[in-house]
Amino acid sequence: MLGKVLIVGVGLIGGSFALALKKAGQVGEVVGIGRHPEAMARALALGIVDRVSDDYADALRGADLVLLAAPVAQAGAILEALLPHLERQTVVTDAGSTKCDVVAAARAVLGDRVRQFVPGHPIAGSESNGPDAALPGLYQGKKCVLAPLPENAAEDVERVASAWRACGAAIHTLTPEDHDRVFAAVSHLPHLLAYALVDDIAARPHADLLFQYAASGFRDFTRIAGSSPEMWRDISLANRAALLTELDAYLAQLTSMRAMLAAADGVGLQGIYATAQRARREWQEAIEAGSLDRRSPNQENT
């Protein structure tokens, strides 16, 4: 049971965390703080937070846990604002989609008090954002990756893990470096591709005609291009080294497929399509069977 939780950025991710903890009866008070007063007022009106504050000293007083749920580029500035008022019992975590940059910011700002910062990343989301997008069940059955630091006390890591379990998530652990390499391939690159395709279509002279006939395939492929541009700008830049590696590999695949198409190499194209179909089917079947939901090679016991 957490007595007081402070959420910095009460949108989809932070708001859903608050609602899930409240639904589970695992928090006494939720305080929200954020850049946009209208969004904070909306979070209060929706009952996501119990009160809002624009004063970190007040908001942090007596807090057991702080969740940073703002774009990753803001992590350093937020931690600087937190540090003068950070009490010894308070554990800070984050929900950012990149970890190496956030860890570097935490070390630079917090110094030896970085031991109070436990990096995290819930693997759940939506193309919608803001307080109205928050859902109490967003994390149910989803993964939450923690990337504990050598300085973290085991009980502080467990406090963060327990909070995410109360939200319905299964805890996995990765190093910050492994986290960023993995998510460059399976999350950050797909977002970049979706944005690129929609931007390309929208810039064409006959864009209205193209969008008129875009159907379910286009909708499914580009759904994530409805996500926050600010957030994904920050993620792309923060993880640019790993993302460039994945983008180069994808460009090589496209170049190969273009050559097959130019040569009318149906056998080659079908081979790629068949391999992709089989891999995706096996992945989907594993998800439906639950074998990908609860275990990973370096997951803690739950």
| Cβ neighbourhood burial of 119 (10 Å; 0-12, 13-18, 19+) | buried
pTM of the model: 0.89
CB 195 within 8 A of CB 127: no
What's the CA gap between 66 and 287, in Å, rounded? 31
- Annotate 19-54 with b (16+ C-beta within 10 A) or e (fewer): bbbbeeebbeebbbbbeeeebbebbbeeebbbebbe
- Secondary structure class of 65 (helix, strand, coil): strand
Closest CA to 228 of 153, 157, 147, 127: 127
pLDDT attached to residue 294? 45
Closest CA to 53 of 7, 110, 22: 7
DSSP-assigned states of every residue in 200-216: HHHTSTTHHHHHHH--H
The enclosing H or E element of 67 equals: strand 65-68
For residue 103, give both structure tokens. 């860890």
CA–CA–CA angle 115, 120, 121 (5° rounding):
165
In this structure, how many other beta carbons lie within 10 angstroms of the beta carbon of residue 232? Answer: 19
DSSP state of 102: H
pLDDT tens-digit profile, the chain (302 residues)? 899 999 999 999 999 999 999 999 999 999 999 989 999 999 999 999 999 999 999 999 999 999 999 999 999 999 999 999 999 999 999 999 999 999 999 999 999 999 999 999 999 988 788 999 999 999 999 999 999 999 999 999 999 999 999 999 999 999 999 999 999 999 999 999 999 999 999 999 999 999 999 999 999 999 999 988 998 999 999 999 999 999 999 999 999 999 999 999 999 999 999 999 999 999 999 988 876 654 443 433 22
Cα 19 to chain centroid, rounded = 17
